[in-house]
Amino acid sequence: MPGPSRPAIEHTIPTQTHGRYLVSAAAGPDAPLLVGFHGYGETAEEELARLQTIPDSDRWTLVSIQGLHQFYRRRTNEIVASWMTRQNREQAIEDNVAYVANLLRQYSGNSPLVLTGFSQGVAMAFRAAAFLSVPVAGVIACGGDVPPELGVDQLQRIPAVLIARGRNDEWYTAEKLTSDEQRLRTAGVSVQSIVLDASHEWTPPFSEICGQFLKELEPPL
């Protein structure tokens, strides 16, 4: 007969992996940089398509970063990705921020730098803005909340934020939007808050609003 089960101790170990991202370069050598983080179960292609719907985004170099945690979408067998799960959450945050920092070193001359996120990607946009060594001009967030672990010291590194939710979004609720807006204002962030006539989605009207937001951050020609 087998003996009594022995307790197992969980360990973690860092390991090297490869990330995937897409770049749509602007014509100018030092074009401003617009970086996108997709939602859960999406791809870099989907996030890049969102960025390309923003008016005058062709004047920006667009970078769409895909999450490190890839899996198959059941019905279509398409390869998609997520940013993290509850398991080993703190380590995943460190890995993701290091991944983004390493990637953006290649674009250190591009200014301004604006980070965008949709759904699960919103948290990544805020974390990157809070912890990157390079200054960030702003964050565009749609359908996702500000990570709970970010305090005033981290959030005050972000000068301006455009944050939006769909009126019928059951996940990113009105209460969450109100709470996030208050946290950001307390940190001294200039906040533009939008409620869209939509559910959990990035809409064409929101792209128009994003275009105006970027125009105010873009350096003069």
Full-model pTM: 0.93
Residue 187: predicted pLDDT: 97
Report how far residue 124's alpha carbon sits from residue 220's, in angstroms, rounded to the nearest whole number: 29
Longest alpha-carbon distance in the chain: 79
| 148 CB neighbour count, 10 Å cutoff | 9
| 15 pLDDT more than 80 | yes
Report how far residue 120's alpha carbon sits from residue 129's, in angstroms, rounded to the nearest whole number: 15
Q: For 122-160, how does the pLDDT look when each residue is reduced to its tens digit (9 = 90+)?
A: 999 999 999 998 899 999 999 999 999 999 999 999 999
Extract the runs of DSSP E, i.e. beta strands, from the chain: 20-24, 33-37, 61-66, 69-72, 79-82, 113-118, 138-142, 160-166, 190-196
Residue 77: predicted pLDDT: 85
Report how far residue 193's alpha carbon sits from residue 209's, in angstroms, rounded to the nearest whole number: 11
What are the Cα distances from residue 109, in Å, to 59, 64, 67, 115, 128?
Answer: 15, 18, 24, 16, 17
Q: For 44-61, how does the pLDDT look when each residue is reduced to its tens digit (9 = 90+)?
A: 999 999 999 999 999 999
What are the Cα distances from residue 34, in Å, to 1, 22, 61, 112?
Answer: 62, 12, 6, 8
Q: For 63-111, how does the pLDDT look when each residue is reduced to its tens digit (9 = 90+)?
A: 999 999 998 988 888 899 999 888 888 898 899 999 999 999 988 777 8
% of residues, the chain, pLDDT over 70: 97
CATH number for the domain running over 20-217: 3.40.50.1820
Residue 88: predicted pLDDT: 86
pLDDT class for 166, splitting at 50, 70, 90?
Answer: very high
* C-alpha 199: how far from chain center: 19
% of residues, the chain, pLDDT over 90: 76
